[in-house]
Amino acid sequence: MNKIAVAGVGYVGLVTGVCLAEKGQQVTCVDTDSQKISQLNQGTPTIYEPGLQALLHKNIAANRLTFTTMAKEAYIDADVIFICVGTPEQADGSANLNYVYQVATTIAQYAKENALIVIKSTVPIGTNEKLKEFFRAMGLGFEVASNPEFLAQGSAIRDTLAGHRIVLGVESERAERLLKSVYAAFEQPFVVTDLASAEMVKYAANDFLALKISFVNDIANLCERVGANIEDVTKGIGYDPRIGNQFLRAGIGYGGSCFPKDTKALHWLAEEEGYILRTVKAAIDVNEKQKYKLLQLAKQEIDTFRGKKVAVLGLTFKPETDDLRESPALPNIQMLLAEGAEIRAYDPEGMERARVVLGDGIRFVNSAKEALEQAEICFIFTDWAEMKALTPNDFITGMRRPLIFDGRNCFDMDVMRAVPEIRYVSIGRPKTGVARCADMIL
């Protein structure tokens, strides 16, 4: 068993700490946010993530997991210190590393001489080398390693405990042995690289997935023009093992804390090196336009939103998370409000955070069906299971005259086609029902 310190109890830090404790390591998580630390010590997660609360309770009770605001307490005996703080996007697309260096400054004060410092945060290529220089300038010889995370919100526990690989960017056999001992119980293949390659793996993985999403959305937009069905197209190409069937769902684009930030950061880094990543730039451009696709489709059917009763289903950027960061729902809602729509919104986990962002301009309700009551228009921004479980009858009985704009292709086309009372518009698929103009909706 190793003594582990995890710096930062945000999304990555909390999941990392809990999962390392679950695999038998002695873990102390440290953060400057005393409210979060107090909440976590009481066994209450600060984020929504399936399976997290049970593991949090279990490992606190087993005395393998503690939380503190005291950096000295966390670092002084730690064999390995994982840096898991945010690296937010700056105005030019580059990553802000202030939090990384703030943590490093504190580590320098308290960590023992042979502690291994591991960056798990997503950082630009070359950051680990710069961190080594940072410590050297202070007369310290800490060894630094890179260990990027590959978890996805909504499946983060599974992704960590049963992932496809563990990437270790190291410079010595000692660092490799130590990190392999930390992850010995995870039973995942190790990919051992140099520091820069490990940093690049993270960006390349996320940017490739973003590329797949933007490519499929681009093809979906063309499908609408030529009369093809994107779901038939993706099924046809997904059987090809060279392509695979994951990340081939058309919709209104990617969001969250990773893909938008990481595509822009890698594009910025390439430009700094005098190179243009044209494919990544294309993914960014397509995604920026795609998040407004649903409103564009709606404006082909509706003259004005002023005074219209609008149901919004889904606020988070994806299901099974409470994260609103870069969610396509938010700018669309703000545009609807600016055009005079009266909005009732529902999300199973995102409404508390949405109240902070959107204020009192919309009415938050307790269920999807309640949001539909007397609505003239429905927008679906997130494909929660609760939304996908709605039936045509739910729309017919709840709404005045159902006009649905589905940004996540939640419903079977054959089912919707069989209900002529519903006008159903989705992404990259034929529209169903009868087209109508604004005065016909009332």
Annotated binding-site residue numbers: 31, 36, 87, 122, 202, 247-251, 255, 261, 318, 325
Contact 160, 147 (CB under 8 A): no
> Angle at the Cα of 21 (from 34 to 101), degrees rounded to 5?
50
* Residue list, annotated binding site for NAD(+): 31, 36, 87, 122, 261, 325
Sign of torsion over alpha carbons 60, 67, 52, 178? negative
84 is catalytic: no
Sign of torsion over alpha carbons 118, 123, 125, 126? negative
Burial per residue of 131-167, b for 16 or more beta-carbon CB atoms within 10 angstroms, e otherwise: bbebbeeeeeebbbbbbbbbbebbebbebbbebeebb
Q: Distance between CA 324 and CA 345 in Å, rounded? A: 14
Which is nearest to 151 in space by CA: 270, 62, 267, 20?
20
Burial per residue of 388-418, b for 16 or more beta-carbon CB atoms within 10 angstroms, e otherwise: eebebeebeebbebbbbbbbbbbbebeebee
Instruction: Look up tokens 């002695």; give the residue.
Output: 26
Strands 363-364 and 190-193 turn out to be unpaired
Instruction: Look up tokens 């518009």; give the residue.
Output: 425
CB contact set of 321 (below 8 Å; sequence gap of 6+): 47, 48, 49, 153, 154, 256, 349, 350
Strands 116-119 and 363-364 turn out to be unpaired
Which of 19, 84, 258, 410 is catalytic? The answer is 258
Maximum C-alpha span of the chain:
75
What residues act catalytically? Answer: 258
